[in-house]
Every structure is written in structure tokens, then in C-alpha cells.
Structure 1
Amino acid sequence: MPVAKESKSGKRKRSAKTSAPRKRTRSESESDDDMNDMTDKANVQDRILQLESQILSSKKHYNNIVELLEIAKEGPAAGEEDDEESDGENDNGSPQLAAAVALCRVFMRLLATGSLQNASNLSEKEAVVVRWLKDRLTEYETVLLDLVAGKSGADAAATALTLVMRLLQAEGQAQRKKAAATAGTDDAAYEFPQALLASIVRGLFLAGARLDQDAAEGLADEFVEKFAGEMVDVRFYTFKAASSVLASLSKESTGGADGDAESIDIAARGAFYLLSLLDEVPSSSEDLDKAFFVNPPPAKRSHALYSVAKHRKMAQDAWLAVLQHAAASTSDRSLRKQALGIASTVIAPWFAQPELMLDFLTDCYDAGGATSLLALSGLYYLIRERNVDYPAFFRKLYSLLDAELLHSKHRARFFRLMDSFLASSHLPVQMVASFLKRLARLCLYAPPSAVVSVVPWIYNMLKKHPQCTFMIHRVPRTAEEREALAQDGLADPFDAREQDPMESHAVDSCLWELVQLQSHYHPNVATIAKIISEQFTKQAYNVEDFFDHSYQSMLEAEFDKVVRKAPVVEFQIPKRIFLPHDKPKGDAQGNVATDEQAEDQLLVKLWDFA
């Protein structure tokens, strides 16, 4: 029975004799086309089912596999997915996916019956058939992997992912049976199709090259939700495959074309997203005694799949590959910022050797700007939880206090972290005073939304470090100081250009900047700055209430404010904006106005509101 094939374009060619296209009614042409397409598709579906049943019924029909492979390879032509007249070759009911599903059932049946296994008692003819079937299986896996990588769209990729994972499970269980039969016991070595899983992971990483970001991330979500997040063996070998895939792509991109460099960038972003979904770090071997994708699971408890240390080692290597690319990439800076955003919550818990992560964090910390702010949380996690020594931490933190900080969108996150950094009562008073003084100086030219969050934070720091409260009001102690203050005033001893907080002499200065803020043009800033001049009766302010302030929120607060008593304002509405200052044209003395004077008179008349 011949296979009914559709044209690659899916459209009818216009006759060369026709000078202009004729507008067709749906009842006349389009309905006929739809009926023909539906008939052709139904014929192909029936042919697929017939070919599958013949293969499963007798070995003499194995050649039908070739025809099914040809149908599975016939995807939509380039650009046809978005064509309104397309027949929907990319949906789950297409002949391409129907053939792929049929082939999956065929090969799973062959794997289960052992028809793809070489045995010593096979004849030469049977061995040739087995080798041929293995070649067709490899060809079929290539078709599925192309679909997973987004060759025919998001729907086909999701379906192909399910099919190839079922095939992986069947291959793994067939290998387990063969190993058990060879060893003569059920305690044979655990077999897992690592090469096939590595190809699947590679396709998931590179799916972003053909699919949009949402579709590629949705494919990774499905893989983690159904397989890697639930199955211990899939997660273990996914980590292992991630590092090897990124290493091979990086090797291909070294000295290669621009397309290879772009591929490694896409793969790194895909790897980062997929690995970030695997955030459940096992704490004991009992956490690993769960579902296995390839059954039966390893019998020996000494297997690597039951080892928490081995799991963390595989995850550590995978994350190191991503971080190394993020640090070295000059074309994709967003990946570095995304990695820093989850460094302390998702990435660091997997690391058994935190010092391997220190190089990446310190490089980002030294980069300056927003990258340094994002690296703070990861670096502080290593210092606090893993006892990593970083002597220049506070000096670098002090250098981040610049004019850009109070304008940054990461300002709230920075103050939350700095509140933890400076919370210890064992810090030198010189250091704490330097931070308070520098922030007070920055408030002089900061936006109002930043000032209203800095001032309460300074108040809290003064409550935590009472040794710094004398900076609020410093009184000259000697007669010479009082005389100099009365004549010429005193210079501020604070050195704003000093990078070492222990040498800035801020402890000898005072917070006069906060007094100047009490005369700020914005009433909210002036009000909040006056808390420094009042008695410190409040234990602490909740700075979270001030972090979300912006120009918009402060303006809306002014509009929504209830005015209990209207202010007394005396004003007079002028009748004119421009007042005449020249003599009118043709006055009593007979003078004639110039052209400019005439234009001025016209302007005054136009703006007369009387």
C-alpha cells in the first residue's frame, strides 16, 4: 500500500496561465482542500498502524521500520509552522509524531523480548539482523533528539521528550537483564544508558536556539518534573551529563566559528535554568532511597547512586562548568548576575568544597557595580557557613558605598545584607563610624526614596553601636577649639577619598549631613531626618517599611494625604502673562512702532485672559 505524501510546502501552486489570483469562497475550494488534507492524513495514519502491526506480528516485516522512519523524518518545512494555511504538521496528531509513537512501541517491544541483544548462539544471519535493528534504533533516536532540540516546535519537542525517555528506560532495563543473565545473579552491576541521556541533556540545553525562551524553559520544567526531579538515577546522571556536555561544547567553540560560540552561550543558559530547578540537596542516604527510573535499582548500598557525597560531587562539577562559562563570557553578562542571585540558596549547598566557588565570587565581588552587590550574599554565605577567610571583605564593602549605590535597584538587598554584616558588637567603632559617615554624606545628593530608607537604618546602627552616638552632636572640648569654631569654623576631619574604613577619621567627625537633611525640599525626607535630633526612645525602626519607597509611591502618598485644615494662602490670578512694555503703534505723538514692537503687541493680545 503506497504511502500518501503531502507536498513540503503544503500549498497548491498557482497556474502560470493565471494572471491574477481568483478569490475563492470557502465552500468552493477551501472546504475541498481541507477534506483532501484530512483524507490524506487519515490514510497516512492508517498506513502507520498497519506497518506497526505487521512489524509486531512477524520478523519478515522488519523493513517496515524504514518506511516509518521516513514518515517520522518528514517534519514541517522551514517557516511553515507559523503559516496560517499550514496543515498543523507540528501538532500531536501529525503523521510525523504518529510514526514516532509507533516506532517507540516497536522498539520497546523488541527491547523487552531481547531481539536487540547479541548472543553467542545466534546464527550469522540473525546477527546481521540484530546489527541492522541496532542501526535503525540509533537512527530513530537521532530523529527524537532532533525533535527534542526544537526542530519541529514546542509541542513536538514535549512529545519526543516523553518518547525518548521511555526508550531510555526500556534500554536500561534490557541492559540490566542482559547483565543479570551474564552474571547469573540479580546482583549484577547497575546499567544505565548514560550516552543517550547525555544526548537528551544536550538537546534540552540547545533547545533555546530553535524555540523561544518560554518554550525551552517549559521543556526543561517538564523534564525535571517528570524525570530528573523524581528519579534518583536520572538526576545523578543528569548532573554528570551536564558537565560533560558543556565541556564538549566549550571545546567545539574554542577556535571555532561564531555559531559555535553562540551555541555554548545558549547551552550555558539552558544548563543554568535546568540545574536551578534541581534544588533539593539530599542530606542522607535515606533521601536517595526513592524511585528509580531504570529498575531494578542497585542491590549494593555501596553504589554511587546511594552516596550523598557522590551526588554533591556530580552537582558541584556541573555547576562549576556553568560558573566558569559565566565568568569567562563577555557576550552574556546576564548569566553571571542570575548565578549570583541564587549562589547562596541553590548553588552553594551542593558544593562539598566551597573554596572552588570562592574564585568566581571574589572575581564578581571585585568587578564593581551591580555585580559586586549581587556577589555579597554568596560570599557572606561562605564566610558565615563555611568559615572561608576573606580579610579584605569590609574594605571592599566600604568601597561599594558610592553615588551609584543609592540609585541602584539592588539598594534594598544591599542594606539587608549590610545590616547583617555590621550587626556584630565586636566590630571596631572606627569601622562602623566610617560606614555611617559615608552613607550620611551620600544622602546629600541621593534621591528622596533612598534617603528615607538610609536615615532609619543609621538610627538602628546607632542603637546597636552606642559608641558612635557621640557623632550626633560633637561639642568642642578645649578653649582653642571653641575659639577656632567661633572665628573660622572647624574643618571636617573625615576623608571621603580614603578607601580603608579604619583610616577615614570618621570617628572624629559628626553627622552634620543629617542636620542639613532636616531642611530638605521633600517634606517626608525633612520629617524622617528629624528623628536624629530627638530622643532615642524607639528601640529600632523596621527598615523594610522604607525600602519599597519610590518617587511614585511618595507622590501617591502626598495625593492621598488627608488635609485636616486647609493652609491659608493669599494669591491673585493675573489677567495677562505678558505685559506690554512698548508704546502702541501710532500713538498720540505720532511715533510708529517697529516690527518687533508690533509683534510684541500681538503677543500680548493673544495671551489676554481678561
Structure 2
Amino acid sequence: MPSAVGETAEQSAVKRKRQEIGDKSKKRRKSVGGNDDDNDKLSQIQTLESEILESRKHYNNIVLLIEIAGQKTGDLETPLTAAESLCRVFVQLLASGSLVKKKDVSEKDATVIAWLRERYGAYKEVLLSMLQDKALGFKALTLAMALLKVEAQHLEGKDESTFPQVFFRDIVGALLQSPVEQLRQEFYDTFVAEYDDIRFYTFQGIADFLTDRDHLASEDVRNKVFGMLLRIDDIPGSSEELTDFYIDAPQKKKHPLYSLAQHKKQAQEAWLAFINLGLSKEQRKKILEIMAISIAPWFAKPELFMDFLTDCYNTGGSISLLALSGVFYLIQERNLDYPDFYKKLYSLLDADILHSKYRSRFIRLLDTFLGSSHLPAVLVASFIKRLARLALNAPPSAIAVIIPWFYNLFKKHPLCTFMMHRVPRSKEEKDLIETEGVVDPFLPDELDPMATNALESCLWEIVQLQSHYHPNIATIAKIISEQFTKQSYNLEDFLDHSYGSLLEAEMIKNIRKPPVVEYMIPKKIFTKVGPASVPEEKDSLLVSLWDFESS
């Protein structure tokens, strides 16, 4: 029967194949009578697959399977079954070299090969679209990665495997746009965290994805990219550790996959591409929080973060606290020159520092910065005095770590101990203090820690803390007034304290003698008990107070 006007031979063949399959299905339904539509579709898919593998004349069945796999219906089993069948078909075609164009191939075979490669591309597009669906995405990811491995081995027709960068870049792009967060986690756990080449090309795929601004119009997509970058934090220690490959290891020993510097370069380009897009406040905080641990070590040139970190450090508030570790990393690892570092560090000691949720991180860094015995005693004394003044309004959990840290600083900087034992030198000086009091020479508003006169002051604030309402804090504060027989305190034992931990410690404490609150329980609280002739029954303290005020 002649084809319709404008209809290609391929379309006519597809229509004839559909009609043949439909006739066979009708016959099966008539003969069996009990099969439902789902079983009929699955058997149809199996028939199409077996016919493709039997003979080249049934290649048009590939088009039908692609259409079935791409159907958007409530039935999930049918498209998944079709996708699995296509995967087996193309794996066999790739392995047999049916998609590789050879030099001496005939024009007819070349046309067939070109047609198969187009169908192969259409099938990959179907798999990528499935990654956007929660029910189909996990199976589609497995099929796509299996196909990636076979394609690397056979599609180019070479003896050595070649990583299919274009297909993998499309997979990464589809995952970054997928609404299924668990799918990205599965991709990381199964492939990125396990294989060095997958991690290498994932960074490359993210960088390529970020160059297309159309993808990044949505803030949601940018958050997904950020989440994927944050997951990749397992940094190899050396090039010798780069041995786990998903695709066959390259034969060339100078291949970029064997170079740790090249891995860092890919990570650096991906991170810089994301940061250059502009960061939200939460993203900036998260990057600063893990900068020295998970991001800067990935960079071949961490000094590229110099302007970013110094700007954040000069911002103030919690941003400065978080940027502190990154600035210190560059100072330590890349010799960053920051002349006013201690002056800026001193400015961070404000009224909110001991109430911040980043307090423990800050104190750890502060202990590192002031730990050197080569620092001037005047500088160290300024930090001690400033924090002692702030401790008067600090929560108990903060005071519990500050005072042991003071103890350690006094052991490292003996010249600062004059702040603890400053007593009147003469009787006239003592009489003057008793009659007129004393003015603390410390200058709390001075911005330069070298000019605060802290070393001429004394730690009267710690003496006040020895009468703190919390008994544990009062006990800890007394260590400054006792002999320094202990070498040092381990700050980690005090950093995790909070209101909850302090309260729990009090609740589980063994009380030897219960405290006496009141020796007699009153019968009435707001009114008088009775006539005054009954001496053993007394009014409550509240009633007694009212009588006192009214008299």
C-alpha cells in the first residue's frame, strides 16, 4: 500500500509495525481472554525487544520502545520495563560495534548506524527526563550510569575506554535540576564518593552547568548546586590515592585523572563559578563555616579567597566570626599579610560574642592566636581584661570556659599575673582606696589592644564572679585566687557546656544534706492564720511583710 503524501519510509514502517503488533495483541486477547492490559503491554515490550535482538529488520521496534518509555501516564511499570529493554538492546548494540562507523562500511550501513545513533540519543533524553520524576528517577539513574560505562568502552571504537563527558555532563545537569533531593544523595553516595573519575567530571559538569545562566534563574536550582558542592568534601591526600575509577583507568600515566592538582583545579573552577554568581546570606555563612576544612583545601590557589575572606572579616558580627578561621588558614598556609589582625580580632570582643552560637569556635581560635609566648604581655592582658568585663553579663556556660582559659594564659604569659595580685603598696594608698575608692585604669573604649592600660588594671571582675549565683561558676572563679599548681586545663572539657548541661549536672548531683527552705510550712499564704494566742501557728512571710509595710 503506498504511503501518504509527505510521509517518510521510516514513518510508514513504524505504522505498519504498530498495526502488526496490534493485530497480534488482539489475537492473544481473543485466545487467552483473561490477560489484562498491563500484562499485554509488558508482553508487547518483551516481543519488541526479542525481535530487535533477532534481526536488523526489526530495528524500527526501537522507536516504539522509546515512545513507550517516554509515556507520561500513571502506570510506572510499563515505561520502566521499556527503559530496561532499551538499555539491554543498546548495550548489545554498543558491544557488537553496531553504533561505530568504520572506514570501509557501505553507504547503506552508514545510514543505519547514523539512524541508530540518533535513536540512542533519543533514548538518553528519555532517561534524563525520568530523572525529574521521584518514582522513575532512581531506576533511570542506574540505567544511565550503566549505559555510560558501556558507552565509554565501545562507542568510540577504540581499544582504550574514553570517558563520555558529554553524556555525563547531561546527567549532572539533569540531577541538579531534579526536584528529588534523595536522588542527588544517591548519586553522591553510590558514585561520587566511591570513584575518583566520577568526582573529577562531576566538578567539571557543575562548572559547565553554571556557565548557562538560563538554568540559574531559579534560586531553588542554585541551592541544589550549592548542596551538591557541599557534599563533595572527601579530599584526597596525594596523587597516589587516585586509584578508584568507574570507567577503566586511562593507560596514559600523565592523564589528568592521575593528577591531584588537576582534581583541585576542577573543584576550584566549580566553586569559583558558583561564588561569582553571588551568594545569599545563608550561603555565605555556610561557606565561611566550612572554608578551612572542606573548601580551601580543594583549591590549587586558596589565595584566590583572600579578598572574599578579608571583606567578610571586616563586615562585623557573626560573619566576621565565621571568616576568622578562613583568614587564619590563609595566614598559616599561604602567608597572608594582615597587619591589623589582632586589632580587628580585639574589635570582635563585643557584648554579643559570649552569647553567640559560634562562641566555642571563636574561643578555640582565640586560644590558638594568643597561645604564642612571643606575644606582648600588654596585648594578651587586653584580651583577658576585655573578656573578664564581658563575663559579668555572660551566661554561665560561657564563664565556665573563659576562666580556665584565663588560667592557661597566665601560665603561658607570667607577666600578666600582676593583674591578679595588684595590692596597695603603702598605708597611704590603702587609706586612699578605702576613703575615695579606686578608678580602673583600663580603657574599655580604646580600639588598639596595645593602648588599653589593661596591664595596669586588676581582675576585680573575677572576684565578683566568685559570688556568682551558680555554685559551679563560683567554684571555678576561685581557681584564679588559688595557687597555680595545675599545669593547664583542657578547654574541650568546658566548651560544650550549656544551660541544659549545667541544669542536668545539678539534677543528678548527690545531695548529702537537703537544704532547709523553711522550718514550718504555713497553712495560709495570703491571709492570717488565726488569733495571736496560738504561738505555734505563725503567719506566712508574705502576710508579715504586708503588716510591716502598712504599719
Q: TM-score range by the shorter chain?
A: 0.7 to 0.9
In the other structure, the counterpart of 1:405 is 353
Tell me if structure 2 keeps the 8 A contact 1:71–1:96. Answer: yes
SS in 1 for 2:22: coil
Equivalent runs, 1:228-267 vs 2, <5 Å? 228-248=192-212, 251-252=213-214, 260-267=217-224
- Give the aligned partner of residue 41 of structure 2: 44
Gap change, CA 1:355 and 1:3, over 3 Å in 2 = farther
2-side partners of 1:275 and 1:437: how far apart? 42
Q: Determine which of 181, 191, 202 is the counterpart of 2:162.
A: 191
Find the partner of 2:141 among 152, 158, 161. Answer: 161
Counterpart code for 1:552: G
- TM-score (norm: length of structure 1): 0.76
Contact 1:206–1:266 under 8 Å retained in 2: no
Structure 2 residue 162 is matched with structure 1 residue 200: no
SS at match of 1:541: coil
Match of 2:486 in 1: 538
Counterpart for residue 517 of structure 1: 465
User: 1:430, 1:506 within 8 Å by CA — same for their partners in 2?
Assistant: yes
Cα 1:341–1:99 change in 2 (3 A) is same
Equivalent residue, structure 1, for 2:415: 467
Alignment: residue pair count: 502
* Residue number in structure 2 paired with 1:2: 22
Distance in 1, matches of 2:209 and 2:295, equals 19
Counterpart of 1:373?
321
Contact 1:168–1:193 under 8 Å retained in 2: yes
Paired with 1:164 and 1:3, the residues of 2 have a C-alpha distance of 34
Displacement, 1:73? 1.2
Provide the C-alpha distance between the structure 2 equivalents of 1:478 and 1:220, rounded to a whole number of angstroms. 77
CA distances 1:272-329 after superposition (whole Å, capped 9, x unpaired): 23423xx132513x333x344333x43332222222322221122122233444xx22
Residue of structure 2 aligned with 1:99, choices 82, 87, 92: 82
1:445-594 alignment, distance < 5 Å:
445-477=393-425, 482=430, 484-568=432-516, 570-579=518-527
Residue 217 of structure 1, CA deviation: 4.5
> 1:110/1:216 Cα in 2 relative to 1: closer, same or farther (>3 Å)?
closer
Query: Which letter does structure 2 place at the counterpart of 1:238?
Result: T
Pick one of 126, 129, 139 that aligns with 2:122. 139
1:312 matched to 2:309: no
* Cα distance change of structure 1 residues 238 and 504 upon mapping to structure 2, 3 Å threshold: same
CA shift in 2, pair 1:41/1:393, >3 Å: farther
Q: Is the 8 A contact 2:193 2:232 kept in 1?
A: no
Task: Decide whether the 8 Å contact of 1:312 with 1:350 is kept in 2.
Answer: yes
The one-letter amino acid of 1:443's match is A
Partner amino acid, structure 2, of 1:2: G
Q: Which amino acid aligns with 2:214?
A: E
Opposite residue 235 of structure 2, the aligned amino acid is: E
Q: Equivalent residue for 1:152?
A: 133
Q: 1:380 to 1:3 in 2, by over 3 A?
A: farther
Aligned-residue CA RMSD in angstroms?
A: 2.8
> Which residue pairs with 1:356 in the alignment?
304
1:124 Cα shift?
Answer: 3.8
Q: Which moved more, 1:67-76 or 1:456-465?
A: 67-76
Structure 1 residues 534 and 253, CA gap change in structure 2 (3 angstroms): same
**Matched residues in 2 for 1:359 and 1:4: separation?**
71
1:126 match: 109
- The 1:429/1:37 distance shift into structure 2, 3 A limit, reads farther
**Cα distance, 1:540 vs. partner?**
1.4
Paired residue secondary structure (1:342): helix
Cα shift at 1:423: 0.7
- CA deviation vs aligned residue, 1:517-566 (integer Å, no higher than 9, x gap): 11112222211111111111121122222222222222222222222234
C-alpha distance in 1 between matches for 2:489 and 2:251? 59
Alignment of 1:287 with 2:287, yes or no, is no
Paired amino acid for 1:315: A
The Cα shift of 1:367 comes to: 3.1
Q: Which residue of 2 aligns with 1:301?
A: 253
CA 1:129/1:144 → structure 2, altered by over 3 Å: closer, same or farther?
Answer: same
Corresponding residue number in structure 1 for 2:547: none
**Distance verdict in 2 for CA 1:4–1:232, change over 3 Å:** farther
**1:162-195 deviation digits (Å, cap 9, x = unpaired):** 21112222222224424x5xxxxx7xxx732211
- Give ranges in structure 1 of 5+ residues lacking alignment: 6-35, 78-88, 181-185, 255-259, 581-610
CA distance in 1, matches of 2:52, 2:445: 82
Name the % identity.
Answer: 51
> Which residue identity lines up with residue 266 of structure 1 in the other structure?
N
